[in-house]
Amino acid sequence: MYLFTSEVVSPGHPDKCADIIADSIVDEILKQDPNGRVAAEVFIAGKHVVIGGEVNAKIDFTHDDYRHIVKGALSEIGYNDNPHFTRAQCLHPQDLQVDVFLNQQSPDINQGVDQEGGEIGAGDQGIMFGFASCETKNFMPAAITYARLLCDHVYAYAKSHPNELGVDIKTQVSVDYGTKSNFEECKPQSIHTIVVSAPCVESMSIERVRDLIGNLIDSAGLPKELYDKSKTIIYINPTGRYVNHSSLHDSGLTGRKLIVDSFGGYSPIGGGAQSSKDYTKVDRSGLYAARYIAKNIVAAGLAKKCIVQLSYAIGVAKPVSVSVDCMGTNLGAASDDELSAFVLEKFPLTPRWIIDKFGLDRPGKESFLYADVAARGQVGNDEYPWEKLDSVELFKALK
């Protein structure tokens, strides 16, 4: 055996609640002021939500406005006063206390970000990593892809059956590659272990819960060539009881699920979180650009997998460095050195270019919402603008 494991949490996990609330604030500010600057962190514990950070925008939300955003986000997640869980077992938004500690963004940052001629300097220094792999059709590693598939399926059931399950869910998938060589060559052999933890109402027996979730695993759409129920090890609510859940029993903080949000630990990750930040913060926009480049390289058939690293200096538009690492899986004539030089030549990768390329200053239902991205993962969803494969032909010229 050669195993690799990734985990995923649902939008109802307290850390994800914090991310979704933070990005709901980003969405609401940018809808009214596309040039708004936001870095609003969220901490949720018990019945308390604390919002802190910096905002610089042409709007001035009141405390009640922020409270409305918080309650709306939690209700959309599934914390909507579900009568099947008591107020001691699960968060009920009507009990919330919201505290807001937001300041103006420093003018020292603004003078470097907003530049003459419409260019935008990086809102902070930092490093970002984008990754892609040929293991799945969405060019993501297998383990996190199938952990997300399971989590989404169980979460959707929980939202539509609040009389049975709560929305604070975790899934975990271990993929067996058989050998290290198969791992390096992106050849998963089977799904070795599945772990699912989902809260249930007090009246449900553990046998009923395990039967229910077992059926959901079977119907989730896992690839038949990898999932064999008779051979896969499955753990469902392994402690035997999971009723108490939500922030009443586990605090949440923005930025604590970077591995879940990105590539499931398969690739390096950057130095900062995406949620809570506007598009000038390269922790967010740089990740999207790096993922876009890596995905198009793999889709063009130049490599089986690819890591792209970008780095920026605060107030400087062009990246400080660009590197491409295909991890020894190059398929075309282009070396990593040549790919790095090609990316640097053909893609400006300035914050302004990234913003315009992906429409990051225009969140909306017709394109994307940052809160939805926070809920579903920052990368790996084909509906996101940065997941497009519109540079494949450009890269194919290097084959």
Query: 126-133+279-397 has which CATH code?
Result: 3.30.300.10
Give 180's contacts (C-beta < 8 A, 6+ positions apart).
2
List beta partners, residue 196: 171, 236
Which of the four pLDDT bands, split at 50, 70 and 90, describes residue 110? low
Q: How far apart are CA 91 and CA 80, in angstroms?
A: 9
Integer angstrom CA distances of residue 230 from 198, 208, 218, 233, 305: 22, 20, 11, 8, 31
Q: How far apart are CA 235 and CA 212, in angstroms?
A: 13
Tell me: the pLDDT tens digits for 272-316? 999 999 999 999 999 999 999 999 999 999 999 999 999 999 989
Given a cut of 70, whether residue 105 has pLDDT beyond it is no
In the chain, which residues fall in CATH 3.30.300.10? 3-8+142-244, 15-113, 126-133+279-397
pLDDT of residue 333: 87
Tell me: the pLDDT tens digits for 225-282? 999 999 999 999 999 999 999 999 999 999 999 999 999 999 999 989 999 999 999 9
pTM of structure: 0.95
Which of the four pLDDT bands, split at 50, 70 and 90, describes residue 116? low
CATH class of the domain comprising 15-113: alpha beta
To the nearest whole number, what is the mean pLDDT of the chain? 95
Given a cut of 70, whether residue 117 has pLDDT beyond it is no
pLDDT of residue 106: 62
pLDDT of residue 79: 96
In this prediction, residues 6-17 reach a mean pLDDT of 98
Which of the four pLDDT bands, split at 50, 70 and 90, describes residue 124? confident
Question: For domain 3-8+142-244, is the CATH number 3.30.300.10?
Answer: yes
Tell me: the pLDDT tens digits for 62-96? 999 999 999 999 999 999 999 999 999 999 988 99
pLDDT of residue 120: 80
